[in-house]
Structure 1
């Protein structure tokens, strides 16, 4: 699933000019895909560095020969490239987090839109149930205690008490 999202992100990034992406505002999917790409890059580059550092020198005859100058330079170059890529990914991740903080502060980022709408629907449903229970309780109380109040109440003769939701 994650790889499909990453491929989709890369395709959209190539297809859309940078100004369009920034002017429309980043979506939650874009942010998640970007975070996923950057963290995956960090992990890959760190793994590359560890692979180079932990790999035993290659020996053709089964004996461990000391590494040659070419082997050492090859490993050094590989580590340098992986380190530079890892630093670049970390810097991009820092820029992304800074951008997200700015968007959250100024209200331009709504990463929880779908979750929030589901949560809001659940809150509204629960509130409607609570409201119905309160209305029913008030009607019952008015039916039982209406004569004690000294005046006829609409709910006493079997009529429903209408409550407005203004």
Structure 2
């Protein structure tokens, strides 16, 4: 029975991501400057993120500001992936209670391979989740992304680049506002 809502979320997200004559793209990429104005898209993104965290956002989702770091290990450039993995491992035990890390990439064995290349084990700590289902495809691109949410809506996306990854990770793990 939980399968039907998931199909509806994918369908809404796919419709929102399409523009006439263009191929589908991640829905948050269609907004300039990372601000997400469309309330349907804001709701859909939050529902997908809530599913990825096993519906554990609970009371935080109503009013607190939340941040989500998405690391697509297979799609990220090597420099961004290395810095993100190092930061995740370093700060896994000190992750702010309103910050979440979602690591994607083909399954735990594949994800674990990228961590072991850097001589790290997969981190298992509160606030760190793994998407082995592909559900986060609409949220990720070719590098890490940070999403900002409040009131059960995702309102902003920051795409990390090799030039900004160090400061983006410092803000995320340092709890600094942007």
- TM-score over 0.5 for the alignment? no
> Which protein is richer in helix relative to its size?
1
Larger Rg: 1
TM-score, length-normalised on structure 1?
Answer: 0.25
TM-score (norm 2): 0.24
Would you tell me which structure has more strand in proportion to its own residues? 2
Which protein has greater RCO, CA pairs closer than 8 Å, 6+ apart? 2
